[in-house]
Amino acid sequence: MNDLAIIILNYNSFDDTSREVNALLAEGVSQQSIYIVDNNSTDKENIKILGAQKQINYILSDHNGGYAYGNNLAIKKAIEDGRNYFLLLNPDIEISLTTIEQLYNGLKEFSDIGIIGPRICYRNDRNKIFSDGGLLFPEKGFMGGHANGEQNKESIKMSVYNYDIKYVDGSALMFRKEILDDIGFMNENFFMYYEESEWCLRLLKNTGWKIAVKTQCEAYNLASNKGSFYEYYMTRNRIWVCRLYNGNIKYVTKERWKLARKAIKKGKFSMANAYIKGILHGNYSKI
């Protein structure tokens, strides 16, 4: 896999990032295959030291432009280095070299798959599925979901490749360079959340490429707490996706207003403000 770049985006997550780097190196991943991007976080100096010590590629951004911006920086650098395949990883993901090889071989075997991901299970409950691929419902304002989410994996029978999805989760996503010629890079205006969803929708729209989750290989994530930061971007970006792909804007706007009113009644004003700002910016700002 000498033409594969493994990209880890760091933002104040040095402990997870260093754990992931050390785990990959311990399994025999090439040092020059690993690219870390620090999105102008307080970890910048630690990332620099880690990169030098481990002799891996590292990029220290002077601007926090979000998920798409940071990953795009590394993708462009990896292309300059001659890489043809790219694996995007969140720092909290636990993934084995075997899983990485299976994803890589899937892209090699099926030339019509542009983006692929593994089954994702929970790190604290490895028999429970987090996602066998992302689902989107345009009639409900592009509300998201996960194939087989929260199911026990032993009770689920799936084909090796699940094509019946709308996006591959951005926490563990592998793609081939050729798709960039057709759809370009991820949209950096999204900053956080739905950027991989929009990218996959763009790929599926009139290109002939397929996306898939390979359910016989696994990665593991951690559940995270959601706050006002999350709700703002989820609200705004869902509406943006509706505007781009003819989703039901009224549905998501009404849903989010209802959540804002509930937050106000509970005295959670920062959360209510996140919903309201997300609605306004989603409907009226430039994408």
Instruction: Decide if pLDDT at 208 tops 80.
Output: yes
Q: What percent of the chain has pLDDT over 70?
A: 100
Q: How confident is the model at residue 139, as a pLDDT?
A: 98
Q: How confident is the model at residue 50, as a pLDDT?
A: 96
Q: CA–CA separation, 170 vs 271, rounded Å?
A: 25
pLDDT digits (tens, 9 = 90+) for 113-165: 999 999 999 999 999 999 999 999 999 999 999 999 999 999 999 999 999 99
150: Cβ contacts below 8 Å, ≥ 6 apart: 128, 129, 130
- What are phi and psi for residue 84, nearest 5 degrees? -115, -15
C-alpha of 163 from chain center: 18
222 pLDDT band (50/70/90 cuts)?
Answer: confident
Q: How confident is the model at residue 141, as a pLDDT?
A: 97
Q: How confident is the model at residue 104, as a pLDDT?
A: 98
Q: What percent of the chain has pLDDT over 90?
A: 95
Q: How confident is the model at residue 244, as a pLDDT?
A: 97
Residue from 168, 174, 236, 156 nearest 201 by CA? 168
- Residue that the structure tokens 């010590």 belong to: 53
Q: CA–CA separation, 235 vs 77, rounded Å?
A: 32
pLDDT digits (tens, 9 = 90+) for 176-193: 999 999 999 999 999 999
Q: CA–CA separation, 71 vs 157, rounded Å?
A: 34
202 pLDDT band (50/70/90 cuts)?
Answer: very high
Q: How confident is the model at residue 225, as a pLDDT?
A: 74
pLDDT digits (tens, 9 = 90+) for 5-44: 999 999 999 999 999 999 999 999 999 999 999 999 999 9
Q: How confident is the model at residue 226, as a pLDDT?
A: 83
Q: How confident is the model at residue 196, as a pLDDT?
A: 97
pLDDT digits (tens, 9 = 90+) for 75-90: 999 999 999 999 999 9
Q: Mean of the pLDDT values across residues 212-220?
A: 96
CB of 47 closer than 8 Å to CB of 15: no
**Mean pLDDT of all residues belonging to the chain:** 96
Burial label, 128 (beta-carbon count in 10 A; 0-12, 13-18, 19+): middle
Q: How confident is the model at residue 223, as a pLDDT?
A: 78
Residue 201: what residue type? Answer: L
Q: How confident is the model at residue 62, as a pLDDT?
A: 94
| Strand-pair partners of 4 | 85
Q: CA–CA separation, 128 vs 146, rounded Å?
A: 13
* Token output for 98: 């075997």
Q: How confident is the model at residue 260, as a pLDDT?
A: 97
Cβ of 172: how many Cβ atoms within 10 Å? Answer: 28
Tell me if the pTM is above 0.75: yes
